[in-house]
Amino acid sequence: MWKFFMHEVSMVSLGLGSICCVSGAILKLKSGSMDVIEWELMSLNSSSVIFTLVFDWISLLFLGFVFLISSSVLFYSGSYMMGDKSFNRFMYLVLAFVASMGFMVMSPNLISILLGWDGLGLVSYALVIYYQNEKSANAGMLTVLSNRIGDVAILMSIGLMSSLGGWNFFIYGTFMGSEWSLFKCFLVLAAMTKSAQIPFSAWLPAAMAAPTPVSALVHSSTLVTAGVYLMIRFSSALEGTKVQSGLLIISCLTMFMAGLGANFEYDLKKIIALSTLSQLGVMLSILALGFPNLAFFHLLSHALFKALLFMCAGVVIHSVGDYQDIRFMGSLVSFMPLSVSYMTVANLALCGFPFLAGFYSKDLILEVAFMSWINFIALVLFILATGLTVMYTARLIYYSLSGDYNLNSLSVVSDEDEIMVNSMSMLGLGAILGGAFLSWLVFPEPSMICLSSFMKSLVMIISILGCLVGYLFNMSSSIYKLISLKNYSFVVMAGSMWFMPFLSSLKTSEVSLVSGGILQKMGDKGWYEHFGGQGGYYFFSSLFMVLNSFQMNSVKVFMKVFLVSVILIMFMTS
């Protein structure tokens, strides 16, 4: 009874917190005000270590969306994780994750942001290894080691920023010139590891070993957007730098790579994870072009429909007997009409279908990108990634929602689980109306888009072509001989995320672990012990034994000391 009581209290509290945060964000946005709370912890060499909390419209709005998705996920988990013996552990880990996310979102200080940043990495590792089998352990290790690179980059940034006398990037970010290039590189590296950009992309699909509610919360809309949020806060320091240009190319390549890989993937959760990776590339690319508010707009709208998409995938997986291969599904629209409706809405919002949540942000991002001064390679990657997004969405719909019924198990496929279906209602409403609400809130004044008629309609043309090609290509592959067998090398390369999982998990990890073992033998178990803790212990122990012998009141010792002193006096007086 206690765990169900705690579950309901947590769910209601997060829901009320979401309403309060969104209401506060609207008031802050309309008034243009900001509240800052500072608590000085210590002062070191005129540099004050301050714990800071900032309450502005960005932090409050993002935190409100985190609370909303968390409450929906906890409500959803009440049915999805019902038979799990460790449900208490799962609930406390989710609440710890929400607390870490809150600390990271509310902090404008590079030191106090570590409390949430490291907390996200630790709790996400505990959630990925939740099932405690070999697959989840490997995925968790890949996740935590990839994120530790970003943690080290944050620590190096703290060391470099100490020369300014403080770590508040609201104050110092605007005044960082070209001499702070190394600092900006470290920050971009930290954001790239958390948001799984190339070459750190392998951990995001691997982290799908976690339970599906965890994927809906952690690895779709909150944890992976922490790097994007950090870049939004530091956007004033990145404007007009070469780091910004490098981030544009990397994010465009990530967007293209993820879209290409999703078209050759058959695991339902991994397809959605790769779509998340593609949308993260969209956010960072428009941020690199100098539009942080637009990136934040897409971050929030993406959080709504992507969490809904993961929850729909969880209902489907739960109903078909824990199968995740989309080839074993089919014709689900006949058995699960309500869940399939929500899933279709989320898929269409992902593609940017008119007047859904993704349309307002994604269409505006593409039009602004086409209107900006970008190079030809970035423009082509934007166009290809948009077409590939619609292609793998049409492929997912063809295999799982339409077509023939391919399920061979005896499971009952239906919408009878009211808790799981009702938990998606709020996010379903957000996926339909959230984009319009956010566009009126974030951009109340109309924007000027100056494009030719062809460039204006290019996004719609690409989407329609991608949908047709994706659906026809997969329909023909089930009728005619597989074309992919003729181009097997290309298919393997494209479907394996350009071999990044192999590079991250085989040779690279082997070299790093072997070198780390050698350093541990030489350092921690060798010279560091000899000249450090153990060596110091033996030296002082021997010294104290000598001093102790002088204090034992031994006549023999006193006679020897007296004889030595007499000899020394005679030698000195002679």
* 222-268 confidence digits (pLDDT tens): 788 888 888 888 887 777 777 888 888 888 888 888 888 888 888 88
The answer to whether the CB of 448 falls within 8 A of the CB of 369 is no
Residue with more model confidence, 430 or 240: 430
Three-state secondary structure of 223-271:
CCCHHHHHHHHCHHHHCCCHHHHHHHHHHHHHHHHHHHHHCCCCEHHHH
- Judged by average pLDDT, the poorest of 275-284, 378-387, 509-518 is 509-518
H helix or E strand, kind and range, residue 44:
strand 35-44
pLDDT, averaged across the chain: 79
Residues 213, 311: Cα–Cα separation, whole Å: 7
CB atoms within 10 A of CB 233: 23
Type of residue at 558: F
Residue of higher predicted confidence among 43 and 97: 97
How large a percentage of the chain has pLDDT more than 70? 87
Is 207 part of any domain? no
Is the model's pLDDT at 552 over the cut of 80?
no
Distances (CA, A) of 201 to 134, 227, 300: 21, 13, 21
| Section 501-516 average pLDDT | 65
**pLDDT value at 410 more than 70:** no
The C-alpha atoms of residue 219 and residue 520 are separated, in whole angstroms, by: 33
Half-sphere exposure of 476 (CA within 13 A, CB side): 8
Q: Structural domain of residue 551, as residue ranges?
A: 542-574
Q: Does residue 5 carry a pLDDT above 60? A: no
Q: Strand, helix or coil at 325?
A: strand
- How far is residue 522 from each of residues 511, 518, 528, measured CA to CA in Å? 17, 6, 8
Q: Is residue 252 part of a domain?
A: no
Stated length of the chain:
574
464 pLDDT more than 80: yes
- Model pLDDT, residue 506: 59
Do residues 400 and 268 make contact, with C-beta atoms less than 8 angstroms apart?
A: yes
Query: What is the pLDDT at residue 476?
Result: 59
Q: Which of 15-29, 331-345, 440-454 has the lowest mean pLDDT?
A: 440-454
pTM of the model: 0.83
pLDDT for 485 equals 65
CB burial of residue 551 (10 Å; 0-12, 13-18, 19+): exposed
Residue 330 lies in a domain: no
**Band of pLDDT at residue 512, cut at 50, 70 and 90:** low
Q: Is the pLDDT of residue 478 over 60?
A: no
Q: What is the DSSP letter of 32?
A: T
**Residue 188 falls inside a structural domain:** no
* Lowest-confidence segment of 249-253, 368-372, 508-512 by average pLDDT: 508-512
What integer is the mean pLDDT of 100-106? 86
Q: Which of 55, 407, 449 is nearest to 291 (CA)?
A: 449
Residue 505 confidence (pLDDT): 62
In a domain, 383, yes or no: no
| For the chain, percent of residues with pLDDT exceeding 90 | 0
Question: Would 195 be classed as within a structural domain?
Answer: no
Question: Would residue 528 count as lying in a domain?
Answer: no
Asked if pLDDT for residue 390 goes beyond 70, the answer is yes
Highest mean pLDDT: which range of 405-409, 421-425, 511-515: 421-425
Secondary structure class of 52 (helix, strand, coil): strand
Q: Return the pLDDT at 503.
A: 67
Residue 442 covered by a domain: no
Tell me how many domains the chain contains: 1
Q: What is the pLDDT of residue 2?
A: 47
Q: Which residues contact 326 (CB under 8 A, 6 or more apart)?
A: 266, 267, 268, 271, 396, 399, 400
pLDDT at 483: 62
- DSSP output for 121-170: HHHHHHHHTTT-SHHHHHHHHHHHHHHHHHHHHHHHHHHHHGGGT--BHH
Q: Rg of the Cα trace of the chain?
A: 29
pLDDT at 482: 60
Q: How confident is the model over 107-140, as pLDDT tens digits?
A: 888 888 888 888 888 888 888 888 888 888 888 8
Residue 274 predicted with pLDDT over 80: yes
